[in-house]
Each structure stands twice: as structure tokens, then as C-alpha cells.
Amino acid sequence: MTERARTDDVLHREGEIRLRLLIESIHDYAIFMLDPDGRIASWNSGAERITGWREDEIVGRHFSTFYPDEDIRAGKCDLELAVAAEIGRFEDEASRLRKDGSRFWANVVISAVRDESGRLIGFAKVTRDLTERRQVERERAARLAAEQASRAKDEFIAVLAHELRTPLAPIVNAVQLARLRGYDSPELEVVERQTQHLVRLVEDLLDVPRITRGKLELNLERVEIAQVVSQAIEMAAPVLEQRHHIVDIDVPRQGCAVMGDRFRLAQVLSNLLTNAAKYSEPHGRIAVAAAAAGGRVRITVRDRGIGIEPAMLSSIFDGFVQDDGARNRSMGGLGLGLSIVRSLVQLHRGRVVARSQGRGTGSEFEVELPSADAEEVADPGAGAAGRASGVLSPELTETSATRRVLIVDDSEDAATLLAEVILALGHTPRMAHDGIAALDLARNFQPDIALIDIELPIMDGYQLAGHLRREPWAHELLLVAVTGHAEPSARTRSLGAGFHDHIAKPLDFATIQRILRAGVGRRPDTD
Ligand code: ADP
């Protein structure tokens, strides 16, 4: 019997040692015992690591040592022990104190410990430090919230820009019509200039969500920078002329070819030219130069204007940033131009830098692009490569034949003005303001071209296009969607619905002419 008791005793003590070692080796958890009054009776290395208290300092103290004052005043410690004693367990996540007074975020489980007879002999307390995890979670939540806000902002901007386009379309058309009729006056010039400015602002606004969502499509082709420069100068002409600047051009006709989207590259340079014009005193000189070397084409736009503070040189490419000094003299702008420039250049696998010696010393912007001649094989995975650019290609021969053009738009102003422009160009327009009326009219009128707004009452533009295509007379009808939605998905949807092309409002003069040319060769006019 004695032998047996001794063996039991040894086994029991071995068990205790093993348990102690186990608890000691758990470094991530503070595991300790409280007596029934809440005083600390044992301590492990995890508890020391988390709280900073050593065993010899803490044993005998009340566990409220780890509780912030407000919890103690609220009677939290007593409550927790009472709950654990009553139902066996209490769990909480809250702020706790370390020895140095700093706080950590803890998950705490308190379990009642009873002997064989059910008498409460104390509490086991297991505490886990979740400060880091909480921080990570908070950061993730903040990031998600920021992303959501940014998406909401992009959506708002897209809707805003779309809404702004709708009233802009008839204004642009009205001005063009007035010009066609030979009406000329300083007032009209103001309206024309400011409208062009508005159209550009709206375009910029639309580009931002396109770029940030990676939805901007490039029509890549081999293009000489000389052509891009001349298109850019044309685009920037209103502000260049208004401020009486002289542009010195040093760009070779050949030898500076890049693989790029000619319109987007012209947009880049016209932005730089517009800025050079805006941020220079009138009657200034602006120099545009281009050269190819080492497989790269470098294009510089240099002005002798107000210059840029060195500290601002890199941040001006971030959206909505404007140099304070420049702002006072700003001719308006959203501070988006350069961020769009940088995104477009990067999409072309290039880079753009700004240089200036500071205030009053002028600025130079350099765009560097890979030369088309240095490119090995075009990377077919580059995503943006070679999208077909719609059926309306300029190579269609022009004739003087009169086209019958059906205009369907629920905005009477927009439809009327467009009709007048078409009429003034010598063609025959008819208007309808909803799908049903359009179908009726089309059966008699048998148009060569239908310019159809998508957002129509009763029957939308897609449905109308579907009906028109099934008409027996319509096998040569050119269907063009004219909408405020310029995003690629809207275009894809239009082409999918049977439209031959998709054109964004406001329609400019050149686009209208292009459409009328594309209608050529269909049916001769018999009106
Ligand atoms: P915006 O011209 O609409 O303000 P941008 O993104 O085109 O926006 O330009 C951002 C800022 O960079 C401008 O507000 C201006 O402070 C500065 N900046 C750009 N181009 C020039 C330049 N050629 N000379 C001086 N400052 C410039």
C-alpha cells in the first residue's frame, strides 16, 4: 500500500511539472490563476511577455492591476468574477493595462475552478494580446472604406460628367451652326472658346475614372510624333491664340515614330501646351522639340513662364494638386491635367518629368516614349493593342450625295440643333423624340443614317436599333449610337446591339462630317 501511495505521489508530481511546463511554454497567452477574491496566485512567461510584470512582482496583487480606472470604477472586476462563478465562464474583449501604463487590446477568458466537492477554489484566467491583429483589422477596414469612398467618388464624377455632356451637346451644335451660317461676333467667340473649355473639363473628368479603373483603351498604331504635335497644337490653339503665344517647333517629320494612340498622345501634348500657355505671360514663346535616340523618343515642351517651385516638381503630377503661386493666375482647371498626362504616358510605357529652376524661370516638361523602330515584336499581351476603330474610317471616299439622316433624341433642343447642322451641310434630316415615333417615321423616310440616342422613353435606343435592322428597306442603314456614355463598355454594348458605331456627345463638327461621309455609297437620295 505504501509503495502504491508513493508511486501515485510521484506520478501526480510529474503530472504537475508537465502541466507547469506546458503552461510556461505558451508564450502567446497570459495564463494565470486567481484566488477566489481575485488575487493572482500563479503566472506564466506569456503573462510576463504581454503585461511586463514579473512573477515575483505580481503574485498576491489583485487582478484589477490590469484594468483601466474607468473599468474599476464601473465595478467590472467584481462583475466578471461573479459571472464566472455563477455560470462557469466569462469572456470579454477590451483594453487592458501593461506594467508601464500603456494599453493593449485583450481577449480575456475567466473560468471558475472548483474542487471535487464543487467548492470554488479560484479562477483560471487566459488573456491574449490582440493589439496587432486589431490594428491590422482597423487598417484593413480603413483601406476598404477609402477604396469604397474612392469608387463612390469615381462613380459620382462619371455621372456628373455624363449629366454635363447632355446640355453641352446642343450648345456646341448651336455654336457650330451659327458659324456655318457665317454669323461671327466677339460674343460668339467667347461662347465658342468657353464651351470648348467646358468640353475639355468634362472630358478630363471622364478620363479619371476610366484611368483609375483601368478601362481606358488605346488604339495603338505606328504614329510619327510630328503628326501628334500638329494635332496637339490644333487642340491647344484656342488658348495659344487667346494668349498670343508663339510656338517654336523643332520636330522632324520622320524618324520619331512611336507605337501609340494618336489621339491620346495629342491629348498629352495639348495638355502640356495648354499649361505652358496658361502659366506664361501673354505674348510668350513656347518651344516644342522632339528627337529620337537610344530606342527612345523624347518630346519636350518648354515655356518661359512663371516656373514651378522645386518642391512641387513631382507632386504636380498627382491629381488635384496645384502650385499655390500658380493658382492665383490660373485660368481655371481642376488640377487633373498632369495626372492624366502621366497616366496616359505610362500606359504608353513611357515617362514624363517636369523641370524648372523655380519661380519665374520657366518650365520644361519632357515626355519619353519607346521608339516604334526600336520595338522588337509588339507584345500581344499588352492588352491595349490594336483594337479595331469602328467602321467609320476616313478612307471612305467623299461624295456630294445628299444623305437622309434620322435623328432620334428625346431632347428636342439637341435633336433640332443637330438637324440644323446636318441641313446646313446639305443633307436631309428628320427628327423623332421616341422609339415608336422613330420607327413610324423611318418606314416612310427610309434614312441612310440613323443617329440614335440610347436613353429614350418607351423603347430604348438598343431596342429601336434592333427593330430598325429588321425593316426590309434597312439593309444599308448605318446605325450610330449617340450617347453621353463614352466608356468602352457602353461602346461594346452598342456594337453588340447592332449599331455600326458608338459616338459620345457632344458631337463635334468633324464627327458629324465623318458620319455623313461614311453614309456615302448607300442609297442615292430620291427626295
Ligand atoms: P491645372 O492646370 O488644371 O491646375 P494640371 O494638372 O495641368 O492642372 O497642373 C497642375 C499644376 O501644375 C498647375 O496648377 C500649376 O500649378 C502647375 N503647372 C503645370 N504646368 C505648368 C507650367 N508649364 N508652368 C508652371 N506651372 C505649371
Mean pLDDT of 98-120: 95
Contact predicate 431/419, CB 8 Å: yes
Of residues 49 and 18, more confidence is placed in 49
pLDDT single digits (tens) 487-507? 777 888 888 888 988 888 877
Of residues 127 and 322, more confidence is placed in 127
| CB-ligand 1 contact for 305 (6 Å cutoff) | yes
Q: Which atom of ligand 1 is nearest to the CA of 340?
A: 6
Give yes or no: residues 207 and 230 share one domain: no
- Give the sign of the dihedral formed by CA 492, CA 493, CA 494, CA 497: positive
Please tell me the distance between residue 485's alpha carbon and the centre of ligand 1 in angstroms: 28
What CATH number is associated with residue 498? 3.40.50.2300
Please tell me the distance between residue 215's alpha carbon and the centre of ligand 1 in angstroms: 25
Please provide residue 441's backbone torsions phi and psi, each rounded to the nearest 5 degrees. Answer: -60, -45
Cα 109 to Cα 31: distance, rounded to the nearest angstrom: 10
What is the per-residue pLDDT for 320?
63
The answer, yes or no, to whether residue 299 has pLDDT greater than 70, is yes
The protein residue with its alpha carbon nearest to ligand 1, atom 7, reads 337
- The preferred substitution site among 239, 243, 275 for testing ligand 1, maximizing ligand atoms within 8 Å of CB, is 275
Of residues 95 and 401, more confidence is placed in 95
What is the per-residue pLDDT for 324?
60
| Domain residue limits at 246 | 220-382
| CB-ligand 1 contact for 363 (6 Å cutoff) | yes
Please tell me the distance between residue 358's alpha carbon and the centre of ligand 1 in angstroms: 13
Count the neighbouring beta carbons within 10 Å of the beta carbon of residue 525: 12
Please tell me the distance between residue 36's alpha carbon and the centre of ligand 1 in angstroms: 72
- Of the chain, the percentage scoring pLDDT greater than 70 comes to 90
Residue 136 is assigned to a structural domain of this protein:
no
Of residues 431 and 151, more confidence is placed in 431
Count the neighbouring beta carbons within 10 Å of the beta carbon of residue 483: 23
Of residues 399 and 90, more confidence is placed in 90
pLDDT single digits (tens) 445-482? 899 999 999 988 888 999 999 999 999 888 889 999 99
Across 114-123, 135-144, 176-185, 349-358, least confident range = 176-185
Give yes or no: residues 234 and 194 share one domain: no
The protein residue with its alpha carbon nearest to ligand 1, atom 1, reads 335
Mean pLDDT of 304-311: 92
| CB-ligand 1 contact for 484 (6 Å cutoff) | no
Query: 28: pLDDT confidence band, cut at 50, 70 and 90?
Result: confident
Q: What is the DSSP track for 25-67? A: H--SEEEEEE-TTSBB----HHHHHHH---HHHHTTSBGGGGS
Q: Which atom of ligand 1 is nearest to the CA of 276?
A: 23
E-only strand ranges, 133-250: 221-224, 246-250
Cα 80 to Cα 243: distance, rounded to the nearest angstrom: 77
- The preferred substitution site among 272, 279, 334 for testing ligand 1, maximizing ligand atoms within 8 Å of CB, is 279
The protein residue with its alpha carbon nearest to ligand 1, atom 11, reads 322
Contact predicate 168/506, CB 8 Å: yes
Give yes or no: residues 338 and 447 share one domain: no
Q: Which atom of ligand 1 is nearest to the CA of 305?
A: 24
* Tally of structural domains, the chain: 3
What CATH number is associated with residue 68? 3.30.450.20
Three-state secondary structure call for residue 504: strand
The answer, yes or no, to whether residue 523 has pLDDT greater than 50, is no
Give yes or no: residues 214 and 229 share one domain: no
pLDDT single digits (tens) 46-86? 999 999 999 999 999 999 999 999 999 999 999 999 999 99
Q: Answer with the one of 382, 410, 430 that is the final residue of a domain.
A: 382
Bond before 506 cis per omega within 30 degrees: yes
Give yes or no: residues 374 and 472 share one domain: no
Q: What is the DSSP track for 326-358? A: HHTT--S--S-HHHHHHHHHHHTT-EEEEE--S
Give yes or no: residues 453 and 494 share one domain: yes
| CB-ligand 1 contact for 340 (6 Å cutoff) | no
Cα 52 to Cα 459: distance, rounded to the nearest angstrom: 73
Give yes or no: residues 261 and 351 share one domain: yes
182, burial (CB in 10 Å: exposed 0-12, middle 13-18, buried 19+): exposed
Give yes or no: residues 343 and 226 share one domain: yes
What is the per-residue pLDDT for 155?
78
- Write down the mean pLDDT value for the chain: 84
Give yes or no: residues 233 and 214 share one domain: no
What is the per-residue pLDDT for 333?
63
Query: 319: pLDDT confidence band, cut at 50, 70 and 90?
Result: low
Contact predicate 124/31, CB 8 Å: yes
DSSP conformation class of 371: B
**Of 415, 406, 412, nearest to 440 (Cα)?**
406
**Of 483, 486, 419, nearest to 173 (Cα)?**
419
Mean pLDDT of 509-518: 81
What is the per-residue pLDDT for 114?
95
- The preferred substitution site among 204, 323, 365 for testing ligand 1, maximizing ligand atoms within 8 Å of CB, is 323
Give yes or no: residues 377 and 238 share one domain: yes
Q: Answer with the one of 327, 352, 382 that is the final residue of a domain.
A: 382
The answer, yes or no, to whether residue 323 has pLDDT greater than 90, is no
The answer, yes or no, to whether residue 393 has pLDDT greater than 70, is no
**Of 348, 350, 316, nearest to 335 (Cα)?**
316
The protein residue with its alpha carbon nearest to ligand 1, atom 8, reads 335
Across 143-147, 328-332, 337-341, 474-478, least confident range = 328-332
Please tell me the distance between residue 497's alpha carbon and the centre of ligand 1 in angstroms: 42
Q: How many residues in the chain?
A: 527
Q: What does the angle CA 475 – CA 476 – CA 478 come to, to the nearest 5 degrees? A: 120
The protein residue with its alpha carbon nearest to ligand 1, atom 16, reads 323
What is the per-residue pLDDT for 328?
45
What is the per-residue pLDDT for 351?
93
What is the per-residue pLDDT for 306?
94
Across 144-148, 150-154, 236-240, 281-285, least confident range = 150-154
The answer, yes or no, to whether residue 37 has pLDDT greater than 90, is yes
| CB-ligand 1 contact for 350 (6 Å cutoff) | no
- Give the sign of the dihedral formed by CA 72, CA 78, CA 81, CA 87: negative
Give yes or no: residues 56 and 25 share one domain: yes
Q: Which atom of ligand 1 is nearest to the CA of 280?
A: 24
Please tell me the distance between residue 148's alpha carbon and the centre of ligand 1 in angstroms: 29
Q: Which atom of ligand 1 is nearest to the CA of 325?
A: 16
Count the neighbouring beta carbons within 10 Å of the beta carbon of residue 509: 16
The answer, yes or no, to whether residue 398 has pLDDT greater than 70, is no
Please tell me the distance between residue 338's alpha carbon and the centre of ligand 1 in angstroms: 7
Q: Answer with the one of 382, 403, 428 that is the final residue of a domain.
A: 382
| CB-ligand 1 contact for 361 (6 Å cutoff) | no
Please tell me the distance between residue 155's alpha carbon and the centre of ligand 1 in angstroms: 25
Query: 302: pLDDT confidence band, cut at 50, 70 and 90?
Result: very high
Count the neighbouring beta carbons within 10 Å of the beta carbon of residue 171: 19
Residue 5 is assigned to a structural domain of this protein:
no
| CB-ligand 1 contact for 316 (6 Å cutoff) | yes
The answer, yes or no, to whether residue 340 has pLDDT greater than 90, is no
Residue 390 is assigned to a structural domain of this protein:
no
What CATH number is associated with residue 255? 3.30.565.10
Please tell me the distance between residue 325's alpha carbon and the centre of ligand 1 in angstroms: 10
Please tell me the distance between residue 65's alpha carbon and the centre of ligand 1 in angstroms: 59
pLDDT single digits (tens) 418-454? 888 888 788 888 999 999 999 999 998 899 999 999 9
Residue 301 is assigned to a structural domain of this protein:
yes
Residue 316 is assigned to a structural domain of this protein:
yes
DSSP conformation class of 296: E
The answer, yes or no, to whether residue 485 has pLDDT greater than 80, is no
Mean pLDDT of 367-387: 58
Q: Look up residue 112 and give its amino acid.
A: A
Give yes or no: residues 272 and 162 share one domain: no
pLDDT single digits (tens) 253-294? 999 999 999 889 999 999 999 999 999 999 999 999 999 999
Residue 333 is assigned to a structural domain of this protein:
yes
Three-state secondary structure call for residue 309: coil
What is the per-residue pLDDT for 391?
30
Q: Which atom of ligand 1 is nearest to the CA of 271?
A: 7
Cα 493 to Cα 481: distance, rounded to the nearest angstrom: 10
The answer, yes or no, to whether residue 224 has pLDDT greater than 60, is yes
| CB-ligand 1 contact for 279 (6 Å cutoff) | yes
Residue 198 is assigned to a structural domain of this protein:
yes
Across 175-184, 216-225, 232-241, 398-407, least confident range = 398-407
What is the per-residue pLDDT for 385?
33
Please tell me the distance between residue 258's alpha carbon and the centre of ligand 1 in angstroms: 26
Residue 101 is assigned to a structural domain of this protein:
yes
